[in-house]
Amino acid sequence: MSFSLYVHIPWCQSKCPYCDFNSHAAASWPEHQYTATLIAELERRAAMAPFAGERIKTIFFGGGTPSLFDPKSIGAIIDAAARIFGIDSGAEITLEANPGTVNAEKLRGMRAAGVNRISFGAQSFNDATLKFLGRIHTADETREAAKLAHRAGFDRLNLDLIFAVPGQTVADILFDIESAVGLEPDHISAYNLTFEEGTAFFTDLKRGRIKQLPTDEQAAMYATVREEIPRRGYPMYEISNYAPPGHEARHNLAYWRGESYIGIGAGAHSYARDGQGGRRWWNEKFPARYIAAIEERGLAEAGSENVDETSSQGEFVFLNLRLRDGFALRDFHDRFGRNFECIFGATATPLFNDGLLTLDRGRIKLTDRGLEMADSVFAEFV
Ligand code: SF4
């Protein structure tokens, strides 16, 4: 069975105050050494169960800011993946990019290297909002980057938006949506701003320097996003993701469907399905420690856990419920050999009664109200 490959590039030009990803602000980075280390990790994984002999069906370069890397480095990693494992023909190969880090030459280079999908962190088309979010780019730079990406041959283009930023209004969100759609992406992601522990925004919030929008305003913005993006030709297929049929992010679909993936690079997570359960592991978080670990022992695992059948059943439910189409009861039975009702009947009944879940032609899905309270629904299955 083929699997997905995630490649983590951990550096950024500066750290955005809301970001809790494993990203490190740097003026320079050991690109050559890190690329060689990623390839060494890939070689080691190819020699081990359970991925030995399997092919790759999607690749995702995330970060951090992968677009800081030279296309030659990205190309070397793709070539190595093809040589070491083999890549399915037509595989989706995505690169996350910051609009402030690309030009025509870099985008052409990435396309020639084999990348066939670009995901720009646009976030907003209001320069004051971008500044507040600590972004290094302007709205005009995003517009230019999207045009250049199309010209470089990227038919598949995602734009990320962030909503519920302090001070934002529903009209601002509409403007962002209009602006994004005007750039003709084939996919839009729209995320509610969160204030995660450890971020600068979290500290600002605790110290009263910034204020979160009231919950009802956040819900109104999410409702606007859910209605207005689909109205423009991008149906919602996941809690935060919108695309015409056939343009969904295949790499992310693999995560939501609980399929196997290898993550290589600093702090990257991996998951290998095994029978009814699986194993999850994660790498050393800091780039220098990651590189040192691979150089010393070929692997950089900092921790791992076995996912038993019970946890795996819960994960299957809450990951698939992220999808607008939910999951088929039959698929649950095929995967675990038992009926959903036998295992989760007592948990799910109150959620149906409260109008958070619905059963539609053999599929269980979140209702609109369930979408707004998704985290509390998911918590019931953890
Ligand atoms: S560019 Fe992206 S990964 Fe880097 S700090 Fe900002 S949000 Fe985080």
Q: Quote the number of domains for the chain.
A: 2
Is pLDDT at 53 greater than 90 in this prediction?
A: yes
Residue closest by Cα to atom 5 of ligand 1: 15
- Rounded to whole angstroms, the Cα distance separating 4 from 6 reads 7
- Answer yes or no: is 296 within a domain: no
The verdict on whether omega for the bond into residue 64 sits within 30 degrees of 0, i.e. cis, is yes
Is pLDDT at 89 greater than 90 in this prediction?
A: yes
* 134 CA closest ligand 1 atom index: 6
Domain that includes residue 213, residue range = 3-254
Is pLDDT at 1 greater than 90 in this prediction?
A: no
Measured from the CB, is residue 12 less than 6 Å from ligand 1? yes
**Upper half-sphere CA count for residue 51 (Cβ side, 13 Å):** 27
Number of H helices, E strands in the chain: 15, 17
- Answer yes or no: is 373 within a domain: yes
Residue 275's pLDDT is what? 82
Best of 8, 9, 20, 21 for a ligand 1 pocket test (most atoms within 8 Å of beta carbon): 21
pTM above the 0.75 mark? yes
Q: Are residues 162 and 76 in the same domain?
A: yes
Q: Are residues 202 and 313 in the same domain?
A: no
Q: Are residues 329 and 194 in the same domain?
A: no
pLDDT tens profile 270-285? 999 988 889 999 999 9
Dist. CA 263 → ligand 1 center (Å): 18
Contact 196, 202 (CB under 8 A): yes
- Answer yes or no: is 344 within a domain: yes
DSSP state letters, 44-93: HHHTSTTTTT--EEEEEEEES-GGGS-HHHHHHHHHHHHHHT-EEEEEEE
- Answer yes or no: is 299 within a domain: no
- Rounded to whole angstroms, the Cα distance separating 104 from 73 reads 17
pLDDT tens profile 224-250? 999 999 999 999 999 999 999 999 999
The verdict on whether omega for the bond into residue 50 sits within 30 degrees of 0, i.e. cis, is yes
- Rounded to whole angstroms, the Cα distance separating 267 from 270 reads 10
